[in-house]
Amino acid sequence: MTNREPPPDRRDDHAVPEQDAGSATAKIGVMLILLSGVLWFSLFAIPFLPLTIGQKAAIGGADFVAVQIAWWLGAALAGPKLVARLRSRFRRRKTSDES
């Protein structure tokens, strides 16, 4: 059997178009991803605020939810290729001279 392309009347015309890295939605997506990083690091400041433990827990929970919303919405707007490129910049590189 060979892989053949489907007839023209059965092609998937509803495919999602690729995001251009310079488009407005991709830029908004990257800004949301960066905002999620800032919100993530702001979690470390919450214990030092002059609030009650319950208020700190509520702010911490809301901050964590905001981090997740910003990351996933930004990833959806930026597109999978751009997210993969951003993630590869922050991954540790394996060194070959480990003994």
Q: pLDDT digits over 21-57, tens only?
A: 578 888 999 899 999 999 999 999 999 999 999 999 9
Q: Is residue 18 over pLDDT 60?
A: no
Whether the Cβ atoms of residue 36 and residue 76 lie closer than 8 Å to each other: no
* 49 lies in some domain: yes
Mean pLDDT of 66-89: 88
* 78 lies in some domain: yes
* 13 lies in some domain: no
How far apart are the C-alpha atoms of 63 and 46, rounded to whole Å?
9
What's the number of domains the chain is made of?
Answer: 1
How far apart are the C-alpha atoms of 17 and 7, rounded to whole Å?
21
Q: Which amino acid is at 54?
A: G
How far apart are the C-alpha atoms of 88 and 33, rounded to whole Å?
14
Predicted confidence band of residue 91 (pLDDT cuts 50, 70, 90): confident
* Percent residues over pLDDT 90 in the chain: 49
Is the Cα dihedral 77, 82, 83, 84 positive or negative?
positive
* Percent residues over pLDDT 70 in the chain: 75
Which residues form the domain of 71? 37-90
* 50 lies in some domain: yes
How far apart are the C-alpha atoms of 70 and 31, rounded to whole Å?
9
Predicted confidence band of residue 15 (pLDDT cuts 50, 70, 90): very low
* 66 lies in some domain: yes
From the list 94, 77, 97, the residue with the least C-alpha distance to 86 is 77
